[in-house]
Chain A
Amino acid sequence: MRVALFVPCYVDQFYPQAAIATLELLEKLGCEVHYPKNQTCCGQPMANSGYEHLTGGCNSLFVDNFSGFDYIVCPSGSCTLHIKEHLHADGKEMQAAEIRKKVYELTEFLVDVLRVKQLGASFPYRVGLHQSCHGLRGLRIAQMSELVADPFSKPGQLLNMVSGLELVTPGRADDCCGFGGTFCVVEEAVSAKMGKDRVADHVSHGVQYITSADLSCLMHLEGILRRQNSGVKVIHIAEILNNSL
């Protein structure tokens, strides 16, 4: 199975350890993982700011990098969703359509495609799960609290396979953290307040780590935790699932 690893730009630059964990985890599970080296960004920062018309360059580059694989896997719900919903490229629409079908967020790939039943990972800590909105309500990797429907959680299912890990659900199971792309600077006051409230919810439940399938949320929450000199850390879910003692 030829899998292309799609690493979001900010993960590439600021959180390489999460991408390394994703790569190692997929290899452990038997995938032949390729990293197309000329990848940059999915274009979401421009599109969500109202400049989708400027994403042609990113889209074209994305298609060039990611065509021809069995699957494309990304350790971010948000970037995956953006590609799924908005990847179009002039003259390459067939390939773009193919990619939109083949792109998966990491936890949904592990659960739905690889059908992982055990992991051999260990992480003996109290861990709070932050549901990223795009993974949750966009990709539906877990059930949403607003709907009257049966519960499920792909990240939760995977975390429950990790020995020693105590999974903690915050008081508000899927309230947004307030990152929101450029929202985090344009609406700084509300963004920071939302982040502080998410952090407080997790901290009040005695977590040692906050994890998520999206590092953009975690980058924002980490900024707040560090400003508060908190002992609570953030960690991408791939790093937990790939962790062995």
Chain B
Amino acid sequence: MSTATDKHHPQLAADFNRDEPRVNWHDETLWWVRAKRDMAAHKLPEWELLRETASQIKLNVLSNLSSYLEQFEANANKNGIIVHWAQDAAEHNQIVYNLLEQRGIRKMVKSKSMLTEECHLNEYLKEQGIDVIDSDLGERIVQLANEPPSHIVLPCIHKKKEEIGDIFHEHLGSAKGESDPKILTETARQHLREVFLTRRAALTGVNFAVAETGEFVICTNEGNADMGAHLAEIHIASMGIEKIIPERKHLGVFLRLLTRSATGQPITTYSSHFSKPQDGSEIHLIIVDNGRSVQLGREDFRNSLKCIRCGACMNTCPVYRKSGGHSYHTAIAGPIGSILAPNLDMKKYADLPFASTLCGSCSNVCPVKIDIHDQLYKWRQVIVKEGYSPKAKTMAMKAMALTLSSPALYRMGGKTGRFVFKYAPFAVNNKFNPWYNQREMPKAPDQSFGEWYAKRKGAKN
């Protein structure tokens, strides 16, 4: 499910804001998750040290990525895991398809993997006649609604329970009008149980891949990754090249940070280590680049690859809370998505680094201390330099720069502006002025500070 739209963030966000009570509900729901994160973090006096440690471990990983990947591959092979390498999304999808095709498998169960969203795996497999069922509850809901996830941890956070009831009534046969979360969850559970028992293939994501041991770790609250992987003949796990951590002991840092940052829980219900296949089954691990090595080469943006996909930056971001995940028209929404997406397609995602006030809250909650808001600023510079900024904006900025570089032009402009505000307010107070749509313009004073000061006795310039 791609977000097939030509609209950019400002329009999509304006669409979302047509229903203000829904915006309030969305904002409050996510703020509540942020508040839970704060409570969990404040229980650990060593929180800031943990963040710094995680950031440094990831910095080491990014600085030595190729050798860690080779070490991981060698150890995974020793354990009996079959490792595949994919340069891009197409290659990743092809590998998955081939693995299924060779075994005559037409149906697969999948637990949450943002990488497969990024690669649009579901659509691809559907075109090949393969039926994929998402087993994460939130993912299953958006899959049934034929929508992409709107949040990386809380995929259906944009849906109210009544709407989920309607979807389940239509697709899973729950009673019409049923919206009790317990009953709806049980309905999904029964439906998925049958799926788990009958699928020969399971695909999962990867949260951490340990170079030292060749094992990988998957974190879920629902146990759905385990259920799928343990019951299938073939377990396919997809991971980006940046998921590596050097040693098993480092999990002690990341597992403590991940869920506290994500939902305020001390740890995920299931943190499952996969190191070797069970007798009679196979584990295939696909290690995917898909633009990551390009990002690694961008000095200003390489730290974005430290991300452990907790979603804390989304929950805290006032723009995300008030514009909804779908307004970012990319698999990974919010502040982190806005610094990752332009690397993949600068033209298509030229709007995203501007969908921010640069308030900096994202960088403060980030458990691996990515300088997200600084990177948003830097992406803006790159996007303009590469020519992806609207021409009218460039003209306006050039005129502004010219005026502000000259004290005389500035004074004249200010005087004229204030004169217009005062004597011809209709020139600014109209529907062509986006400021005026929901806000009054500032009142124009008779004189500027500069003019006042020039008349002041004993003025010191």
| A interface residues, Cβ below 8 angstroms from B | 7, 9-17, 19-20, 23, 32-41, 43, 45-58, 60-61, 133-134, 137-138, 144-149, 172, 174-176, 178-181, 183-197, 219-220, 222-224, 226-227
Contact = CB atoms under 8 A, between A and B. Distances in A.
A185 B435 contact: yes
B251 to A, nearest CB: 21
B449 A11 contact: yes
- Of the listed residues A38, A40, A147, A194, the one surrounded by the most CB atoms of chain B closer than 10 A to its CB is A40
Contacts of A41: 404, 410
Contacts of B407: 37-40, 61
Contacts of B356: 180, 183
B206 interface: no
8 contacts: A12-B448, A14-B444, A50-B354, A50-B384, A146-B365, A193-B322, A197-B322, A223-B442
B133 interface: no
A51 B13 contact: no
A51 B401 contact: yes
B182 interface: no
B364 A187 contact: no
Interface of B: 9-10, 13-14, 16-17, 20, 23, 27, 31, 38, 41-42, 44-45, 47-48, 316, 318-319, 322-323, 353-361, 363-365, 373, 377, 380-381, 383-385, 389, 393-394, 397-398, 400-402, 404-407, 410, 414, 417-418, 433-435, 437-445, 447-450, 452-454, 459-461
B301 to A, nearest CB: 15
A185 B450 contact: no
Given A146-B364, A148-B47, A197-B27, A187 B13 contact: yes
Contacts of A40: 404-407, 410
A147 B48 contact: yes
A222 B20 CA distance: 21
Q: Which 5 interchain pairs have the tightest Cβ spacing?
A: A57-B405, A223-B439, A180-B357, A50-B380, A50-B384
Nearest to B442: A14
Contact of B364 (A32, A48, A137): A137
- Most chain A CB atoms below 10 A, which of B27, B381, B442: B442
A49 B380 contact: yes
B42 A185 contact: no
Interface SS, B side = helix
Contacts of A181: 357
Contact of A219 (B9, B31, B442, B453): B442
A183 B397 contact: no
B357 to A, nearest CB: 3
Given A11-B449, A137-B364, A172-B31, A148 B42 contact: yes
Contacts of A189: 10, 13-14, 16-17, 323
A69 B397 CA distance: 31
A203 to B, nearest CB: 15
- Which of A50, A56, A146 has the most C-beta atoms of chain B within 10 angstroms of its own C-beta? A50
Contact of A223 (B47, B398, B435): B435
B319 A48 contact: no
Nearest to B461: A37
Contacts of A175: 318, 361
A221 B458 CA distance: 35
Nearest to A178: B357
A192 B18 CA distance: 12
Contacts of B393: 49
A223 B381 CA distance: 30
B457 to A, nearest CB: 13
A10 B23 CA distance: 31
Given A9-B404, A57-B402, A223-B439, A187 B355 contact: yes
Nearest to A40: B410
Contact of B435 (A14, A46, A184): A184
Contact of A37 (B14, B433, B442, B450): B450
Contacts of A60: 405
Contacts of B459: 35
Contacts of A178: 318-319, 357
Contact of A49 (B41, B316, B397): B397
Contacts of A134: 358, 360
Contacts of B27: 197
A106 to B, nearest CB: 14
Given A34-B461, A45-B400, A16 B323 contact: no
Given A53-B381, A137-B361, A190-B17, A16 B439 contact: no
A224 B439 contact: yes
A16 B451 CA distance: 9
B435 A188 contact: yes
